[in-house]
Amino acid sequence: MNTRRMRVLVFGQLYKRMRFRNEADADLCYYCGGVSSGYDHQPPLAIIGNYLDTGEPVLPIRVPCCPECNSLLQAAPTRTLHERMELINGLLSKKYAKEIVASQRWSQEEVEELSGMLKSTIISSLNTGNVAIDRIAYPGHILADPPYTGGRALRLCPRCKEYTYADISVCELCEHDTEKDV
């Protein structure tokens, strides 16, 4: 039996599945909004034993995740979903840096002037860059009943990237009006 499968058997029951206000979100990656095909564990399965050994408080949760985000995050030693969200945004930005720059440099008129393989390559790069920008800007899901909020739903503020209560229209940290983003 492989090591990951062993960890899932030993520690898997500790992880709580996050519930979302909109159950359709359960099919989307928590980090980028892509199609989810599995779960990401926070803290990662590879290091949860460290927390248990030291007695350090931790809330093991699992969220839907696409294969790319799960692969990029792997066993990154993060303590919160917010840290993982920041990490994945940085990793996606780095991975798709050329495509993101291309999507911001080329105008539609410039692309129309091209032809053949160059045009199709540039269009592909622009599409990839635009998708990457959307994934990086994805605000996360609105959570419903996380165990640490007493049943109050949380929303990730798109400006400061911190969690705020979903029933409060203005972020308590940066005073951003989150109602405008809904």
Has residue 153 been placed in a domain?
no
Has residue 174 been placed in a domain?
no
* pLDDT (0 to 100) of residue 6: 63
Three-state secondary structure call for residue 39: strand
Range of the domain at 33: 1-95
* pLDDT (0 to 100) of residue 147: 41
Mean pLDDT of the chain: 78
Give the pLDDT mean for 48-60.
Answer: 73
Has residue 169 been placed in a domain?
no
Has residue 39 been placed in a domain?
yes
Has residue 5 been placed in a domain?
yes
When divided into structural domains, the chain yields a total of 1
In tens, the pLDDT along 117-147 reads 998 998 888 889 889 988 988 887 665 544 4
Has residue 143 been placed in a domain?
no
Has residue 65 been placed in a domain?
yes
Q: Where are the beta strands (DSSP E) in the chain?
A: 16-17, 38-42, 61-65, 154-156, 163-165
Residue among 150, 148, 154 nearest 171 (CA) = 154
Has residue 118 been placed in a domain?
no
Confidence band (pLDDT; 50, 70, 90) for 66?
Answer: very high
